[in-house]
Structure formats: C-alpha cells, structure tokens
Amino acid sequence: MAKTSPDQISLVLNQTVNESGDAAAGIQTTATMSVGDEFRGTLGSSGDADWVRISLTAGEKYVFTVWGTGGSAAGVDDTTLTLYDANGSQILFNDDSDASNGVRFSQISYTAATSGTYYLKVDNYSDTDTGNYILEAATDVFTVDQVVNQLAEYGWGFSTPVAFDHTNITVNLTGLTAEGRQLALWALEAWEAVSTLRFTTTTSSSADMIFDDNQPGAFAGPGQINTNTGTNTQSTVNVSTSWINAYGSEIGSYSFLTYMHEIGHALGLMHAGPYDGSATYGSDNTYLNDSLQMTIMSYFNANTNTFVNGSEYNPITPMIADIAGIWQLYGTPADINAGNTVWGHNSNVGGYLGGVSAILFDGGADRNQILDENAPIGLTIVDTGGFDTLDLSTASGTQTVNMAAGGISDIGGLTGNLVIAQGTVLEKYVGGAGQDNVTGNDVGNVIKTGGGDDKLFGQSGNDTLDGGAGNDTLSGGADWDQLTGGDGNDRVWGGDGRDKAWLGSGNDFFFDNAQAGSNGADTVYGGGGHDKINGGGGNDVFYGGAGNDTLSGGDGDDVLSGGTDWDQLTGGNGNDRIWAGNGRDKVWMGDGDDIFYDNDQTGTNAVDTVYGGAGKDRINGGGGDDAFYGGSGNDTLFGGEGNDILSGGTDWDQLSGGNGNDRVWAGNGSDKVWLGGGNDTFFDNTQTGSNGKDTVYGGLGDDTINLGGGDDWASGGAGADTFVWNADQNTGADLISDFEDGTDVLKMANITFAELSISQTANGAEVSWDNGSILLEGVASSAITADDFVFV
C-alpha cells in the first residue's frame, strides 16, 4: 500500500453535540451529528435507545465508537451499537469491541456503500443498563483527540478514565537492577518533562508505583481502581532483566521505549487499539495511523504501519497523543520548557534530552554510554513558552521540517521521526549545508538555512526567511514577510501581506499575488543576476540591481528601477514610476498616469525604448539614443541627450526632443513639440480639425518639420530649416512664425510652383493651394520666389 499520510497530524475533533431531550428511537430522530463530532447522550430508562442521524460519503471508511462516561454509577457499562441505512435497514451491529480484554463498549468500522443519510443506534446489552454515553464518529485516520479517547477514555473498559488523584507520585525502584533502575529513572524523567507529574523515589511498599523485574516479559497497569471515580491508588511496572539483556539499556533502545510504555499504563493510558501482548497491522488496528509516530502506547512502528510516512525508530519521548492524554488525566501544565529554548545544536534543554542533543548535534562524546547510537530514534517536542529554536545546522543531508503543532518532520536521515506537540510554538529554525524543506506555523517565524536547494514556506505571521546559498524556493505566505534568497537561482513568492524580498545573486524569480491595498505593497531587491520580478496587486517597489532583469509591476501604483544592464520593465495598471538605470532597457508603462526616468548614460548601452500605454504619461529621457512612444493619453515626452525617437501617439501630447538629432512624431491630437538642439525631424499626420492643430518649436539646428493635417503653428528656430508638405493631403492653414528667406526652405510634394498662389496679408506672405495654405509670418510676399521651394 502506498504511503499517503500527510505531514501534519490532525489535532482535535470538530465539535461536541449534546442530546437535546430524548433522541427518538427510529429514523424520525432529530438528533444529528457530523463525522468528527462527539455526541453526548443519556439512556434515561429501561428500554431506552437513541438514534442519531449522520451523513456519509461513498467509498470513505468510518469508525464509530460508543462508551459509557461518568463512572460506573452514572455511565452505561455495556453498550451496543447498530448502523442503519437511510430507510432504517440494519447494516452492522456490534456488542463488545474488545471482549477478550474486558472492554464491553462498542465499535463499528464501515466503508460507506452510497453517499447520504445513515443512522447510529446507541443501546445497552441488557436493555436495562441506563446512564451517560459518548458516541464518536471518525474517519479511519484518527485525530489526536480521537486517539486520546482510546488511550484515556474507553480503552480500559471502564465508564471513567483511570488515573491517580494527585500529581506528586511516589515510585519504588528497589526491585530493579542498576540498569533497570537507570532506564526507569530516564523514562520517569521523560514523562515529567511533558506533564504536571513529579516523581519521588521511596523504599515504601505503599508507593504509588511499584517497579520490579522478577517476572518474564514486560507489563504494567493500575492495580487498585475505584470504577465509579476512576481513581487508582497503586500501579505495578514489570520489565524483566532478560528483556533488558535482549533489547539494551541505553536511551534509544527498545528497553527504554518499553519502560516509557509501561509507565504510561501505570499512569492510566491504555494501548492505542484493541490489542494486548501482540498485534498485526492491517487486522488488529482500528485506524490507519495507529503507530509509534502518534503514541508510544501503539504496537506498530512507523515503518510497519503502511499508511504513515515513517522509518523504523524508537521514540525517546512520549509522543503527541501520549502528551495530550496525560494532560487530560492530570491537567495541562502552565508552562513546559519556559524561556527561549534551543533544540538540536547548542541545545539548552536539560536532563537526558540535553545529553542526547549534545551527542547527536554537537559531536559530544557519549562518555556515560547513555545513548544507543546504532538505534534510530524519534521524539516529540513540547515547548509552550519563550522564543524557541530548532537548530539542525550541524545535521547532514536533507531535513524536512513542519514547525506547526501536529507537524511531522524528517530529520537525521530518517522519515517522520520528529513531531510537534499540541500547544507547542517553535519560532525559529536554523538549517545546515544540506537541503532543508521547512514549513512554518502561524506565528512570525525566523527560518534561516545554509547551503543546499532549500524550500521554505512561511505560512501566516510576519516571517523572516533566508535561503542562504543554493537554488532555493521561498514562500512568505500571509502577513508581512522578509525574504532573502541569497546566492543561487532562487524562486520567491511574497504571498499576502506587505513583503520585503532580497533576491541576492543568481538568476532569481519573484512572484506576487493579486492582493491590493496597503497590505499588498511589496518591496523587492533583485541583486546580481538576470532576475524576473512579477508584481500583482498593490503599490509595489521593485529594484532590479545588476543583470538583465525583467520587472513587471502588475496592478497598483508601482515603482520599478531596472538598475544596471539591459532590463525589461512593465508597469502594468496603475500610476507607475519607472527608472531605467544603466543599460539598454525596454519599458512598457501600461495603463495609468505613469512617469519614466532615464539617466545620463550615453553610447550604445544607453539606448532605451519606452512604450507609454494608456494614460497621461511622462517619459523623461537622459543620455543615449532613446525611442519613446506615448500611446494614448495626454503624454509628455522628453528625449534628453542623444538622437532620440519620440512618438506622442493619440491625444494632446507635449514632446521635447532635447539635444541630438531627434525624430519626433506627433500623432493624433493637438500636440506641442520642442525639437531642441540638433538637426531634428518632425512628422505630423493627416488628422484635421482642432485635434490636429500642432505647435512645433524647432530650436537650434537644421530641422526638418513635416506638417500634415490641421492648422499647425511652427517655428524653425535657429539654423537652416526645412518645412515639408504633401499637397495631395488636406494640410490645413499652417503658420510659420520665423521663416528666414534665403536660409529656410519650403519643401512640397505633388505640386509645382506654378500651382501655388502667393499673396500679401496683414501678417505676412500667404502661400496657398487647393488643399491648404502657409502663412509666413512677417515675410513680404515679394520676397518669396521659386528659390525658396524644393518640389518633389
């Protein structure tokens, strides 16, 4: 069977449903529960039976369990359970789930044949047994709470949990050898470290727990139980010397696991399933994830279990369900491992766990032979206070870590051998030279790794992720994260929240999402390498840095800075501000009122191309032979230095060529143009009417000004300027304010001098033809001869 277990243990049941009135005994019942719920009811009188409606899904396997609660006086001691279909026809019946071990409660496992309504009938064997009960509906993958019900609620077969009525427990170890005594002390310390329990050794025969090794095998349990209250007054624990001889005497040995397991019995925890002495996975387990990964009270290691992802290992602590179970029996501790705890390298955890950490992660010598270094081990971390760190920086190979409560991790070359307990919050992770795959939790995590192609997932909280060297994958998740790619070709996702990212060297990718507003405003620094930075929603700020970068702002009012080298920048929607920087850049400003800024770099590497798009754009050139296209909207284009190309596009634009031999296209709209210094060329189009009325200032240099449709106004400025018309087009009534006879030239296509009419007006000489006219302001008509024209 393929191992398909997730890397997260489900922790809690859905909800508790209480019987309202008396549930009817038939399909007319109004009592309802869902899978994952507990239904609490009462058989109030002789012959009473409760029916509860539930919806199931075809093909899914379910486990239904009912047990008495409230003690022998108030709870049902011997239940029965029946499953019916939607018509009230019986499908399955169970009386005793584990009669051989004295458990007279009931349990049914069932794979639904069809989707829809089913009914569960709770009754008692004698038909006269009354009292309270709990009905649990689970899938065949149990949550921690559902495992705890097996361990601490119904596993013993009593209508009450079994436990001492105090937490300061005396233990008598005099019956053990030195090796057995040391194992017992370590195991007692393991239970103390995760609970409210405190153990004191004594030589008294009335101690709460009596340890011995004089009988074969290993067994333990409560010996003096009040079945009404569940109070136990004395337990025994026996682990034989031959057991220790066979299975070792160090932490990590099967003997150590056995001592923790048997002490669990003595404290009130039953096995993880309906078995005792021996069991076979696939036939004796009730639920798929019954394994040592969940509880040391299981008989199945994580490798024998074919559902969970896990190696064969011996736990060296109580596991997640054991911890939850012991809290249920003896109360939840106010704080465990208070302060800023470090697990792993440079651990400040005390006791035997601190010694194990020093050996495994710090290269410490095992002078006292406390650890079976040949035995693969697993553990559950429980830590409820302070700023806590898991430091695996000295571990080699791949580490896969889930920092969330219930998370299952693969460390030290094993699989599924580290579990995070309920209520535990790890804030920081430190990785090593191998590949770290780390998933954070819902607080602000600090996750820092070294070499290797790491995968870091921040989840919720204001996280700080640092991939270090290697081709890393970083995902910030929700909230305001700080992400550092480091060396290598990294892939970085910002997620929700106002994130900051430093991509570092390498050819990196940054991906944003569509979140808008102030929480979607991300800041990204590309660093060295050919980076691709993709914005989504929000007012983002992207810096490409060195390398041929590709920046896309997406929605929002973004700031894009290409940095050095040949970049491609896309503003997207919104009012964006874009800086090209050094290099031969291409820019698509997109929709919105955008602003582009060039720098003073000259030469072939300074040739920028900018497309304004829709909106009132402002494009500011610097050095270099740039090409600027305004697109739609009332744009303002400045060529700056260099031989630039300016195209205003549609609407009313303002175009300034600056120094250099520029070429300027006005496009549609009533445009204003300043050609500036240099031998510039202006091109008009054929648009007529008020929207085709352009104003052109030539400036210094020998300019060529092509006038098209509309009543245009032109000033050639200093230099020998050429004004150009096509007589076949409707060119409008144009005006040249500073035509200099003998210096400037009127160039006309598709017409001859004889076809022109030259007359004097109050404002100057007017040259007219069928499709247009030119007013040469301040010029006498007598001065205009064929020598002022060039006909083509």
Q: Quick one: pLDDT at residue 307?
A: 95
Q: How far apart are CA 236 and CA 233, in angstroms?
A: 11
Single-letter residue type at 53: R
Residue 400 near residue 409, CB atoms below 8 Å: yes
The question of whether 153 is a catalytic residue gets the answer no
Sequence length of the chain is 792
CB within 8 Å of 227: residues ≥ 6 apart: 71, 72, 158, 159, 160
Mean pLDDT of the chain: 95
Contact 735, 774 (CB under 8 A): yes
CA pair distance 563, 545, nearest whole angstrom: 4
> Does pLDDT of 606 surpass 60?
yes
pLDDT value at residue 13: 73
Sign of CA dihedral 139, 143, 146, 147: positive
CB 291 within 8 A of CB 397: no
Q: Residue 710 has what pLDDT?
A: 86
- Percent of the chain past pLDDT 70, that is, above it, reads 99
For the chain, the maximum distance between any two Cα atoms, rounded to a whole number of angstroms, is 137
Residue 4 has pLDDT above 50, yes or no: no
Helix, strand, coil share of the chain (percent; to 5): 10, 30, 55
Taking the C-alpha atoms of residue 473 and residue 723, their distance in angstroms, rounded to an integer, is 60
- What digits encode the pLDDT tens for the residues 26-63? 999 999 999 999 999 999 999 999 999 999 999 999 99
For 177, 429, 589, 777, 779, the CA distances from 186, given in Å and listed in that order, are: 14, 28, 68, 107, 111
Best CA proximity match to 269, nearest among 217, 211, 209, 329:
329
Decide if 312 contacts 304 (C-beta within 8 A).
yes
- Asked if residue 245 lies in contact with residue 239, where contact means CB atoms within 8 angstroms, the answer is no
CB contact at 8 A, 119 and 32: no
- pLDDT tens digits along 360-406: 999 887 767 799 878 899 999 999 999 999 999 999 899 999 999 99
Q: What angle do CA 612, 614, 619 make, to 5 degrees?
A: 25
Q: Is the pLDDT of residue 347 over 70?
A: yes
pLDDT at position 190 is: 99
Long-range pairs of 712-719 with CB within 8 A, sequence gap ≥ 24: 712/684, 713/737, 716/740, 716/744, 717/675, 719/679
**One of 262, 427, 641, 766 is an active-site residue; which one?**
262
Band the pLDDT of 5: cuts 50, 70, 90.
Answer: low
pTM exceeds 0.75 for this model: yes
721 vs 474: CA distance, rounded Å: 60
Give me the residue label for tokens 């050919």: 530
Whole-angstrom Cα distance, residue 486 to residue 497?
A: 21
**Nearest one of 101, 98, 64 to 81, comparing CA atoms:** 64
How many C-beta atoms lie closer than 10 Å to residue 437's C-beta? 21
- pLDDT(3) > 50: no
Confidence band, pLDDT 50/70/90 cuts, at residue 526: very high
Helices (H), 279-330: 320-330
The pLDDT value given to residue 667: 86
Place of tokens 């290598």: 488
Residues 6+ apart with CB under 8 A from 518: 498, 538, 539
pLDDT at 1 over 60: no
Q: How far apart are CA 566 and CA 564, in angstroms?
A: 7
Cβ–Cβ < 8 Å for 726, 750: yes
Q: pLDDT, tens digit, for every residue of 698-709?
A: 999 999 999 988
Structure tokens at 285: 């387990």
* pLDDT tens digits along 413-435: 999 999 999 999 999 999 999 99
pLDDT tens-digit map of 607-641: 999 999 999 999 999 999 999 999 999 999 999 99
For 669-683, write each residue's pLDDT tens digit. Answer: 899 999 999 999 999
Rg, the chain, Cα only: 41
Q: Bridge partners of 198?
A: 168
Residue 6: pLDDT band (50, 70, 90) is low
pLDDT tens-digit map of 166-185: 999 999 999 999 999 999 99
Contact partners, residue 280, CB within 8 Å, separation at least 6: none
Distance CA 492, CA 754 (A): 72
Which residue type occupies 490? D
Cα dihedral sign, 196-198-204-209: positive
Distance CA 225, CA 300 (A): 28
Is the per-residue pLDDT at 2 higher than 50?
Answer: no
DSSP calls for 351-415: HHHHHHHHHHHS----TT--B-TTS-EEEEE---SS--EEE-TT--S-EEEE-STTBEEB-TT-S
What's phi and psi for 111, nearest 5 deg?
-100, 120
The answer to whether 308 and 414 are in contact (CB under 8 A) is no
Exposed, middle or buried, 545 (CB in 10 Å: 0-12/13-18/19+)?
Answer: buried
Q: Write out the two tokens for 44.
A: 């109030």
Amino acid (1-letter code) at residue 747: K
Domains and CATH numbers, the chain: 16-154 (2.60.120.380), 168-330 (3.40.390.10)
Q: How far apart are CA 488 and CA 771, in angstroms?
A: 66
Whether residue 523 contacts residue 480, with contact meaning beta carbons closer than 8 Å, is answered with: no
